[in-house]
Homo-oligomer: A and B are copies of this chain.
Amino acid sequence: MVDDRKLDVLRAIVEDYVATEEPVGSKALVERHGLGVSPATVRNDMAALEDEGYIHQPHTSAGRVPTDKGYRLFVDKLATLKPMSAAERRAISTLLDGAVDLDDVVQKSVRLLSQLTRQVAIVQYPTLSRSTVRHIELVSLTPTRVMLILILSTGRVEQRLVDLEQPIADTDLAELRVAVNQASAGVQIAAAAAALGDLPDAVRPHQADWARTITGVLTEAMSDHRSDERVAVGGTANLARYGDFDTAVRPLLEALEEHVVLLKLLGESGTDALTVRIGHEGPYSELAATSVVATGYGPQEHHLGSLGVVGPTRMDYPGSMAAVRAVARYVSRILDEGNQ
């Protein structure tokens, strides 16, 4: 019931509508795309497509507009990822290769993604939970005050101030430093938190109190998933190209303020597959007019976070999907290098 030509018609409708932002009629369709049939034929197909819910007519005597279901079919069956141009590939590699640290990578990715797709880009900071402890440093600021620095394999650095009840000698601190690192270096963060719990019993008795306080703060820092919720957003200015302000721009602007909402949009599914969420398929009814193209990233199978773009349902899916995937691959590679 959905034969090849109907699919061609649907594809043409989607492409034209995305390009022009106006309902597309049968005549314009056959002119722009060489469909080799007459407008009347196309009209019949359109009527069928409408019956099946793939396209929709704003009102009698207007052209057709794809429905969410229509976009879905387009994305699933009809879209072929638009290959990146050489210039775009070069832009990605030169920009991201020049990043000096983790923050830099994230921020440059956001910028890149928004410029490539001319849409709003979102990049989640790499999660702590999968990373391993690279090093823990204890710095004595005053005899009773120690700064803990936790360096993770992803390049993230967490710092915490600790006030001790009893002043600590440098030698004790040095021993604790060794002990802490032996217990946790190279270990996945979740395991490290557990391993540190046993530490107070393993050190010399007079160091137990200090060890307790320090490991307490460390495990807290490790299990503190606050940084998991961090996201970077860019390309907001692209919202200006949206048509309808109240239904499209305002809710999205509000969503962009709520990082939790953004994370949900990106889909914390944990899978690294490229996913497209179209309009009402998403979790928020206010955002029924926006789509999300997202994917996870991370070296090999290690999912460290997600990134993607959000935009109107009427968006360039093939282009966005290609850009999202390309950036995710690059980011994954860079994180892998920094990790080795």
A residues adjacent to B (C-beta < 8 A): 100-101, 134-135, 137, 139, 141, 147, 149, 151, 155, 157, 159-160, 234-237, 239-240, 245, 249-250, 253-254, 256-257
Q: Please tell me if the beta carbons of A239 and B253 are within 8 angstroms of each other in the complex.
A: yes
Q: Please tell me if the beta carbons of B257 and A236 are within 8 angstroms of each other in the complex.
A: yes
In the assembly, how many copies of this chain are there? Answer: 2
Using known A-B contacts A250-B240, A257-B234, determine if residue A151 contacts B135 with beta carbons closer than 8 Å.
Answer: no
CB-defined contacts of A245 to chain B, threshold 8 Å: 240, 245
Chain B residue, CB-CB nearest to A258 = B237
Q: Please tell me if the beta carbons of A137 and B159 are within 8 angstroms of each other in the complex.
A: no
Chain B residue, CB-CB nearest to A249 = B240
Q: Please tell me if the beta carbons of B235 and A257 are within 8 angstroms of each other in the complex.
A: yes
Minimum CB–CB distance for A115 against chain B, Å: 10
Would you list 14 pairs from A and B whose C-beta atoms are within 8 A, ordered by A residue? Answer: A135-B139, A137-B139, A147-B151, A149-B157, A157-B157, A157-B159, A234-B257, A236-B257, A237-B250, A237-B253, A239-B253, A240-B249, A240-B250, A245-B245
The 6 nearest A-B residue pairs measured at CB:
A237-B253, A240-B250, A237-B254, A135-B139, A137-B137, A237-B257
CB-defined contacts of A239 to chain B, threshold 8 Å: 253
Q: Please tell me if the beta carbons of B256 and A236 are within 8 angstroms of each other in the complex.
A: yes
Q: Whole-angstrom distance between the alpha carbons of A141 and B240 in the complex?
A: 47
Q: Please tell me if the beta carbons of A149 and B134 are within 8 angstroms of each other in the complex.
A: no
Minimum CB–CB distance for A242 against chain B, Å: 10
Minimum CB–CB distance for A269 against chain B, Å: 26
Q: Please tell me if the beta carbons of B236 and A236 are within 8 angstroms of each other in the complex.
A: yes
Q: Whole-angstrom distance between the alpha carbons of A101 and B137 in the complex?
A: 17
CB-defined contacts of A155 to chain B, threshold 8 Å: 159
Chain B residue, CB-CB nearest to A107 = B230
User: Which of B100, B149, B234 is close to A149, meaning CB atoms less than 8 Å apart?
Assistant: B149
Chain B residue, CB-CB nearest to A259 = B107
CB-defined contacts of A159 to chain B, threshold 8 Å: 101, 151, 155, 157
Minimum CB–CB distance for A252 against chain B, Å: 9
Q: Whole-angstrom distance between the alpha carbons of A97 and B29 in the complex?
A: 62
Count chain B CB atoms within 10 A of each CB in A134, A235, A250, A257 and give the residue with the most: A257
Q: Whole-angstrom distance between the alpha carbons of A237 and B261 in the complex?
A: 14
Chain B residue, CB-CB nearest to A158 = B101
CB-defined contacts of A135 to chain B, threshold 8 Å: 139, 141, 147
